[in-house]
Chain A
């Protein structure tokens, strides 16, 4: 088990599969999981949390039968353990108001419109994972090769005195 988890939620099986395929480049350093409903995701997250795995990034569809993606992300953001998690909404249908609300409540880091390009999705995910690792992980260098290497190297260099004081 990796230390960090990437979770994708989409009620359409094929869409979910395609998102997961696009993210395989991160699987060396992150566990990547897919859920077909928010309920399933919640159970899964509780279980992973107990196992000591942190949620680094969540990619969530908006229009789903039980709950809207935006609302779920806002709800997640209100729990301390998921506050640092990078939250991405992947949708073609979210209304402007719902999106604004999500951004204002801190529940949304990024909005990707469907249909998406693999390269664009990967770039957004890479960027937000990089930010997450810099904010959360002291031992960040092992993540540098798969993420934005220069950014992580610079952040590490910035912290060189703290690192020296701690080792």
Chain B
């Protein structure tokens, strides 16, 4: 009975944090712990359990975090929580405004800008037409087509939702696959190439996938620009795609070398369609040229939103297509990270675990491996929400990282990259789930390719780090 197991999970996920909350503060092995910090530990444990076991949707957990924070640790919270009882110091209550501000954090605006581009592009068929036009030069040899599919999917998922891109590309591909002989390995390879490219492509830009933006949230303002992120992310994506292409060719040899691709499409020519084309191109250009005009990625992101709503490209109905659940999920993570940081808890935990003696390498590798493993089984965004604040605090205590932002930046980027590499199961990422739902591939296909691509990705990250430092 699914309902019963959900209930058991929910009881477990709230029971453990309640126990933590109920025990005396002095039992927790951290020095001079305040009541506020004690409560934050309980909230964090609850968030982690709920995000991992998912008895409730991940965005609901986010909202619960924000609610509990304003009630339990804010200066406008419940009276019973805002006054000290006993001899444990209360600690500093957080301003309630800054907790609520997580809903309107620059990261949220960045994502709304990204969603606006995706909605406008698909409403005016820009994405499908562009995909068809770009796919044509790759001809009709199966391996060339696969390369084309992968490159286009990856580029699109750098600027649009990985999920919408996957649907679009699978829809282009599946009529061809359906006519291929049943059980042809080559067809499987083609279908697999799309979720792999979508998962991978997201790594290349700050807006490609939520974990990247969450990493930016924990970096000092302006330490990594859109372009700087791409200069590291893009080569990584290109190498990974090349590896994936070769692997898929070897693992899924095709019986038929030629594919009958029917690529017809007509770019729309209405004034509104032109507004979409121009705005889309301009936004990406502005994102890449922060140095020239001074506007950072967040400020640029609100421009397409304004243009599209003013011109009617995006109307009231279309607004509903924004992935509000993703925005809330990210907002909850921001609120969690903010509480850990502002209360001084993050630094206190990091200082009390002797990371320095563990060696810089061990710290980096274990954080990235934990992140990779979690991301395989749960939402990548929720993973980043949990690991990123810890990684940011740990980075501050590593002696090798002292004195510059480079250490912090590399660690957080590694964590973000690692969370995007988790793709071994249908449930790992929405693109995997969608590809799996077509019925053309099986779990073992995702498992095999996911492990290989994840492995080469992690190897590549560590190699890069080793060459760099």
> A residues within 8 Å of B by Cβ?
139, 141-142, 144-145, 149-150, 153-154, 156-157, 159-165, 167
Contact = CB atoms under 8 A, between A and B. Distances in A.
Given A163-B434, A167-B433, A157 B163 contact: no
Given A164-B167, A167-B434, 9 more contacts: A141-B437, A144-B438, A153-B170, A161-B118, A161-B119, A164-B161, A164-B164, A165-B320, A165-B322
Contacts of B172: 153, 157
B14 interface: no
Interface residues of B, number: 27
9 contacts: A139-B437, A141-B170, A142-B438, A142-B439, A144-B178, A156-B167, A157-B128, A160-B168, A165-B321
A145 B321 contact: no
B430 A157 contact: no
A153 B174 CA distance: 7
B67 interface: no
Contacts of A150: 175
Contacts of B434: 163, 167
Contact of B168 (A145, A157, A162): A157
B122 interface: yes
Q: Per DSSP, are chain A's interface residues mostly helix, strand or loop, or mixed?
A: helix
B323 interface: yes
Given A162-B321, A164-B161, A149 B171 contact: no
Interface of B: 118-119, 122, 128, 161, 163-164, 167-168, 170-172, 174-175, 178-179, 320-323, 325, 430, 433-434, 437-439
Contact of A167 (B163, B179, B322): B163
B412 to A, nearest CB: 26
Contact of B167 (A142, A144, A149, A157): A157
B175 A167 contact: no
A158 to B, nearest CB: 9
A165 B323 contact: yes
A164 B322 CA distance: 9
A161 B430 CA distance: 13
B171 A161 contact: no
A143 to B, nearest CB: 9
B433 A161 contact: no
A164 B178 contact: no
Contacts of A144: 174-175, 178, 438
A40 to B, nearest CB: 33
Contacts of A164: 118, 161, 163-164, 167, 323, 430
Contacts of B430: 164, 167
Q: Which 4 A-B pairs have the closest CB atoms?
A: A157-B171, A160-B167, A164-B163, A164-B164
A116 B12 CA distance: 62
Contacts of A160: 122, 164, 167-168, 171
Nearest to B321: A161
A150 B178 CA distance: 9
Nearest to A154: B171
B460 to A, nearest CB: 28
Nearest to A143: B439
A86 B439 CA distance: 25
Interface centre among A153, A159, A160, A163 (most CB of B within 10 A): A160
Given A141-B438, A167-B430, A161 B164 contact: yes
A144 to B, nearest CB: 6
Contacts of A154: 171
A4 to B, nearest CB: 15
A163 B174 contact: no
